[in-house]
Amino acid sequence: DAKTTQPNSMESNEEEPVHLPCNHSTISGTDYIHWYRQLPSQGPEYVIHGLTSNVNNRMASLAIAEDRKSSTLILHRATLRDAAVYYCILSFTILKTSYDKVIFGPGTSLSVIP
Amino acid sequence: KAGVTQTPRYLIKTRGQQVTLSCSPISGHRSVSWYQQTPGQGLQFLFEYFSETQRNKGNFPGRFSGRQFSNSRSEMNVSTLELGDSALYLCASSDRDRGNGYTFGSGTRLTVV
């Protein structure tokens, strides 16, 4: 099972950018990198995903290292509503015949300070 | 497009009883996965079903079982409940055969007393 490592917790000031790192040194060439976040008392929600190139959407940006062994989720302006646990996970491979387990690590608990 | 629906939202059961939880995936999604979430252990993978077949299984005892129906709806069953089974049970659906990720339901909060 592909594994990721993230810091346990991070803090950010409101309206400042946040960079959430993730290491995935054992990533295979066909694994997507997905980010989810979980707000209190809710199920995880999709944030962004990518394969090789950096990605942007209305929620965040994803910067992927050239060797794909790490990635960074960027929240451009943190708000209080961004306080959540952020998970970086692998799998959802582009290989349609592969169904590896999708394993969630402990994630990074992001606190946003007003 | 309706989201992932889990029922019931809350459940209280007594030790030794059994429980069945239900998950209706997003229309068109054929993969359904189940996770157990506790404060101490985080999100633990239970199993994944695709087209009525179990594709993956986590490290849980045989008391935890599941199934998927032809309409992709899934149920999970826990027999002989223990206090430690108290958790939030999350269901996630995907069309991952197309390389896409998960959409999670809001979960079922199970309390075993």
The string of pLDDT tens digits covering residues A10-44 is 999 999 999 999 999 988 888 889 999 999 888 99
Q: Residue A9 CB: number of other CB atoms within 10 A?
A: 12
Asked if A42's CB is within 8 angstroms of B98's CB, the reply is no
Q: What is the pLDDT of residue A90?
A: 86
Nearest chain A CA: its distance from B37 CA (Å): 10
Number of Cβ pairs < 8 A linking chain A and chain B: 57
Asked if B35's CB is within 8 angstroms of A101's CB, the reply is no
Q: What is the pLDDT of residue A38?
A: 95
Which neighbouring-strand residues pair with B94? B31
A49 touches chain B (CB under 8 A): yes
Q: Would you say residue B90 has pLDDT above 90?
A: yes
Q: What is the pLDDT of residue A104?
A: 87
Distance of alpha carbon A73 from alpha carbon A16, whole angstroms: 14
CA-to-CA dists, residue B111 to A70, B4, B108, angstroms: 38, 22, 10
Distance of alpha carbon B40 from alpha carbon A53, whole angstroms: 35
Q: What is the pLDDT of residue B42?
A: 87
Asked if B43's CB is within 8 angstroms of A101's CB, the reply is no
The answer to which of A26-40, B8-22, B58-72, B87-101 has the lowest mean pLDDT is B87-101
Residue predicted with more confidence, B59 or A29: B59
Partner residue opposite A43 with nearest CB, options B90, B97, B99: B90
B28 sits in the region (left: phi over 0; alpha: psi -120 to 50; else beta) called left
Q: What angle do CA B5, A96, A85 make, to 5 degrees?
A: 45
Tens digit of each residue's pLDDT (9 = 90 or more) over A58-97: 989 999 999 999 999 999 999 999 999 999 998 766 555 5
Instruction: Give mean pLDDT, residues B36-46.
Output: 90
Residue at token pair 């803090």? A11
Nearest chain B CA: its distance from A92 CA (Å): 5
Task: Report chain A's mean pLDDT, rounded to a whole number.
Answer: 90
